[in-house]
Chain A
Amino acid sequence: MMSKNNNQETVRRFSKPVIVAHWLNAFAFFALLLTALPMYTDFFNWLYPVFGGPANARLLHRIFAIMFILPTIFMILVDPKSFFHWIKQIISWKKHDFQFFAPFAKDFIGKHADVPKQDFYNAGEKLNSIVQILTTIMLIGSGIVMWGPDNFPKGLVLWAYPIHNIGVGLAATLVVGHIYLSIGHPKSKASLRGMIKGDVSLEYAKEHHGRWYDELIQQEVVQGKKGKKSKAPSNSGKNLGV
């Protein structure tokens, strides 16, 4: 078995553009959340002076809104391979994906659970991605209407507000879970390294993304245990569990 020290073998999981896009998106998301929070709940009214008054908060919200839209465009232009690999993966739902959730619930609270082998993205990540894409569409679409309501018919404007509201409620709820699983949950913590340095330990890959690991073995990107740090490309291979 692999050594249990810090020099363990790793495999590349995310490309540089993915990492940049993810953190830019994350930053914009929180900046948007904070600049709008005093409008969502009076409890955060003290944030207005922090942002230099309501008018400034609205201006910042619009600047961060553009920052929120950019990562998707950036990904499609700079690293379409990773982007479309992600899209293809998250719309692929097989038996092992549906079987993920029941054992995951046990795992979530710290009990031992046998989760079936997962793809490059596990079913939880897939679901998170799908819902987050939907809320992003809701938020950006309604946000554009709310930015300049006078350019749109009143019926559309009236719908924009509740849609924006539902979007942010869902998105923020998911983000709470997403953050917990990356920094709070003991077993899945290792995944954070994949989104910071870009690589994850082989052991993590094997345990959490078994089907991806099998592909890596099959394609001889990694050799089970021996060998130096592998230099597999991002989303190595074309048919990873798709």
Chain B
Amino acid sequence: MEYIKYIDVTKCDGCRACMVACKNWNDLPAEFEEFHGSYQSHKKTTANTWNVLTFTEHVTADNQFEWLYRHSSCLHCTDAACEKVCPENAISYTEYGSVVINADQCVGCGYCVQNCTFDIIELATKKDENGKEYKVAQKCTLCTDRIAEGLQPACATVCHTDAIMFGEKDKMLKLASERLNQVKERYPNANIYNPPGVGGTHTVYLLAERPSVYDLPENPETSYTAKLWKDVAQPAGKLLLGASVMGVVGAYLSNRLFNKEVDESSLNEGGKDDEQK
């Protein structure tokens, strides 16, 4: 069963309880950042801050000031670039539609960080039992561990205005489109953000303004470079490599079959260790 975290930004009052609940449930350390000149606490999600409430200062068409809040976290793409480029298959899809990282398989290469469509995933620095530092990619799991136990994600549970809702995919999408009709009058630019370029997401937004106003890409796509890399170049490279190895083995054998002059050839200066013998 696929589930969706549906975020209605028009209901959000910017309390940041979702940030606290996430840290709490996932046992993530606090991260102190300098004052950035805004009410927003952190610039963006990091390996230890899996969701950030963004505060956007916005001037409306009739010259009124308003705050735009958005719960920013992993969108759990259906076609996730991070999953595609991971060389260790450490990133995978769950039956719920969430995208999760297996920390034991992750080697900390950071390919997912560079390829993430929404610039969410990052590397955490940890210490092993010998005190040696190592890197591991981390991000929101959609509280897959909670879903498996029949619970809702921590952020959805704690949200006191129901701006974060969690449930079956169809139900949530229906809720979103109904709500869109309700808010259209107040927010004429309102839209549902469930980008088809990444096959849809499992965190779906009802946005009050254009995605770009919230620093979201308007038409995000799973990068074609990732597809070229993993769907074309790598399989072709392996095929080519395998074919060339087979080619030279075949050539070696056929040389032994056809090439009768070899044994007396003076060109073989190798001497004793010659495998012609």
Contacts and interface: CB of A to CB of B under 8 A. Distances in A.
Contacts of A66: none
B259 A186 contact: yes
Nearest to B223: A158
B108 A55 contact: yes
Contact of B269 (A6, A58, A207): A6
A190 B267 CA distance: 6
Contacts of B245: 176
A53 interface: yes
Given A168-B237, A187-B267, A204-B267, A111 B87 contact: no
Nearest to A155: B225
A218 interface: no
A42 B89 contact: yes
Nearest to B260: A110
Interface in B87-133: 87-89, 107-111, 114-115
Nearest to A207: B267
- Looking at chain B, what size class is its interface with the partner chain? 35 or more
A228 to B, nearest CB: 18
A186 B263 CA distance: 9
Contacts of B244: 173, 176-177
Nearest to A166: B233
Interface string B234-251: 101110110111011011
Interface of A: 2, 4-6, 8, 39-42, 45, 48, 53-55, 58, 108-112, 149, 154, 157-159, 161-162, 165-166, 168-170, 172-173, 176-177, 180, 184-187, 189-190, 193, 201, 203-204, 207
A47 to B, nearest CB: 12
A109 B250 contact: yes
Contacts of A165: 229, 233-234, 237
B262 interface: yes
B268 A109 contact: no
B241 A172 contact: yes
Interface in B70-95: 85, 87-89
Top 4 closest pairs, chain A to chain B, by CB: A169-B237, A110-B255, A54-B107, A110-B259
Secondary structure at the B interface, as helix, strand, loop or mixed, is: helix
A171 B130 CA distance: 39
Contact of B257 (A58, A110, A158): A110
A42 B107 CA distance: 12
Nearest to B274: A189
B221 to A, nearest CB: 11
Given A110-B251, A111-B258, A166-B233, A186 B265 contact: yes
Interface of B: 85, 87-89, 107-111, 114-115, 134-135, 223, 225-226, 228-229, 232-234, 236-238, 240-241, 243-245, 247-248, 250-252, 254-259, 261-262, 265-271, 276
Contact of A177 (B111, B234, B248, B256): B248
13 contacts: A54-B108, A54-B109, A110-B254, A110-B257, A112-B261, A162-B228, A165-B237, A173-B241, A184-B251, A185-B252, A186-B268, A187-B262, A190-B268
Given A54-B109, A169-B240, A186-B265, A161 B229 contact: yes
A184 B225 CA distance: 38
A158 B267 contact: no
A161 B225 contact: yes
A180 B237 contact: no
Contacts of B236: 169
A176 to B, nearest CB: 4
Nearest to A57: B107
A55 B233 contact: no
Given A162-B233, A168-B237, A109 B262 contact: no
A238 B240 CA distance: 38
Contacts of A110: 251, 254-259, 262
Contacts of B109: 39, 54, 58
Contact of B251 (A53, A159, A173, A185): A185
B254 A161 contact: no
Nearest to A159: B225
Nearest to A150: B114
A168 B53 CA distance: 42
B262 A186 contact: yes
Nearest to B119: A154
Contacts of A48: 107
B267 A203 contact: yes
